[in-house]
Chains A and B, each alone.
Chain A
Amino acid sequence: MTSSTQAPSPVASPRLAVEARHLVKRYGDLEVLRDVSLEVPEGSVTSIIGASGSGKSTLLRCLNLLERPDQGDLAIADEAIRFDRNPQGDIVGLDRRQLQRLRAKVSMVFQQFNLWPHFTVLGNVTEAPMRVQGLSRRRAIERAEHYLERVGLADKRDGYPAYLSGGQQQRVAIARALAMEPRLLLFDEPTSALDPERVSEVLGVIRDLAAEGRTMVLVTHEMAFAREVSDQVVFLDRGFVGEAGSPRQVFEESQDPRCRRFVAPAA
């Protein structure tokens, strides 16, 4: 039996873009997130760091529900997610309409870019605003041109993604995410698939966005970058939050031995 219950309102404060409480995510017997809570204030940059397999991408993907947590409460952009739960409180379903509405406010940039190869660069950036937000073609194109300009690719608008370098593709993907004018931007290891000489052009764009005061959550292996742009750093360790706080607290003052060892090369 399943019953549709309102999540026991995780006190949705208007100043938080993300409020996650006690998230648990399992794949079969493997518990990837064991108990993770996270608060992301509006206008702040949060980096999630941790070893491979620590659950950081899973956590990020829970924030737009590409992964459905098995337990816990989640509020995104002032809206508590209505999960369907069984009597034991395990999450068994979602409200699809709420999900679509929510995802229109949260944009994601993927490690592998995930551009749509059958659309031009411009088409990639106009597609979601037109189809999801209902913008007219003209307004969507204006917006797309604006954001392509921002990432320095205005001249590539009529090309196809496959003809661009990795760094250019990722910048198109960032323009695509920005064109939704989202409340929250998620970056899932945005530079991990890039050639080393292409990393800086993408980090440069992200740095500018951080400086603008956009709300962002970033999963990254670029320690120096995380330290530089973040207001908050979360060190995930085997499905738990090992350490969380300001970059200084995590990179220099952590009492957690595993965290100290992990950040040592960057400290």
Chain B
Amino acid sequence: MNKVSQEGLLDWAGPILQGALTTLEIAVLAYAIGLLLGLVGASARLSPWGPLRGLATVYSTAVRAVPELLLIILLYYAGSQALTALTNALGLPGQVAINGFVTAVGVLAFVQGAYMTEVLRGAILAIPRGQLEAADAFGFSAWTRFHRIVIPAMLPNALPGMSNLWLILIKDTALISVIGFSELFFTVQQAAASTRAHFLFYAAAGVIYLAMTLTSTALFTRLERRVRRGQPLREEV
């Protein structure tokens, strides 16, 4: 037995759990921001005003067309170059390094927002016209109509897609490892490399991802039941 293999799972448990926590933090924040971007994006896509609609269409189309890995690298390296150039131009010397956590959340939220835009747009379009007309007929303001009628009425349609995006997002956090930020996947890579117990550590990572996704699937199922509480269960088709 050589020296590196004397470290075991227990020695790495702390860092790995820390990495898992970081992964969750990134995912939750990126999801929340992506949800906001998606609401704005979907509203813009459905706006009667052409330029706004165009902008939102470009956003959702372009972002969904480029690999996320490329976007992460682009934002991290190109972003720090651009910021460095900017600060140097302002007379501040030195390099600007973008914080890995901020990059991770920023890029993933940006990508989530694009997919979320489409999920929410479809869900809003599926709201029966009459429910919105009733809100108009009673003199609801645009904001009241949006948060009291549009959002609760579209949620039952949107939640399956939203839950899908959340699962994809948790797994996409692993891409952040390419910029050397120690979330779950990066930590496990290090552990595996230093102990050579590849199977053990990658399997452990798989179990942790599985635990996260299964828990959240259960939460989404409960949430969906809640937002559908006014609708009788549909007969099987």
Contact = CB atoms under 8 A, between A and B. Distances in A.
A131 B140 contact: yes
Given A132-B144, A160-B230, A162-B232, A116 B131 contact: yes
Contacts, number: 72
B79 interface: no
Interface in B77-131: 128, 130-131
Nearest to A179: B138
A162 B137 contact: no
B136 interface: yes
A180 B153 contact: no
A72 to B, nearest CB: 20
A131 B139 CA distance: 9
Interface residues of B, number: 22
A103 B130 contact: no
Contacts of B141: 100
A117 B131 contact: yes
A116 B149 contact: yes
Interface in A107-124: 107-108, 110, 112-120
Contact of A114 (B133, B152, B229): B133
Contacts of A119: 230
A162 to B, nearest CB: 5
Contact of A104 (B138, B153, B229): B138
Nearest to A186: B137
B140 A108 contact: no
A243 interface: no
A161 interface: yes
A27 interface: no
B231 A117 contact: yes
A102 interface: yes
Contact of B230 (A64, A66, A118): A118
Contact of B153 (A101, A103, A118): A118
Contact of B130 (A107, A114, A118): A114
Contact of A110 (B130, B227, B231): B130
Q: Interface on chain B toward A: helix, strand, loop, or mixed SS? A: helix
A107 B137 contact: yes
A220 B49 CA distance: 37
B145 to A, nearest CB: 9
Contacts of A113: 130
Given A117-B153, A127-B148, A162-B231, A108 B139 contact: no
A66 B136 contact: yes
A205 interface: no
Interface residues of A, number: 30
A90 B160 CA distance: 46
B4 interface: no
Contacts of A104: 138-139
Interface string A41-66: 00000000000000000000000101
Contacts of A110: 130, 133-134, 137
A92 interface: no
Contacts of A131: 140, 144, 148
B148 A160 contact: no
A178 to B, nearest CB: 12
A163 to B, nearest CB: 6
Contact of A118 (B136, B140, B144, B152): B152
B232 A103 contact: no
Contacts of B134: 108, 110, 114-116
Interface in A151-194: 160-163, 180
A127 B230 CA distance: 16
29 contacts: A99-B139, A100-B140, A101-B139, A106-B137, A107-B137, A108-B134, A110-B130, A110-B133, A110-B137, A113-B130, A114-B130, A114-B131, A115-B131, A116-B131, A116-B149, A117-B153, A117-B231, A118-B230, A119-B230, A127-B138, A127-B148, A131-B144, A132-B138, A160-B229, A160-B231, A161-B230, A162-B230, A162-B232, A163-B232
Q: Which 5 A-B residue pairs are closest in the complex by CB-CB distance?
A: A103-B139, A114-B130, A160-B230, A114-B134, A128-B138
Interface of B: 128, 130-131, 133-141, 144, 148-149, 152-153, 227, 229-232
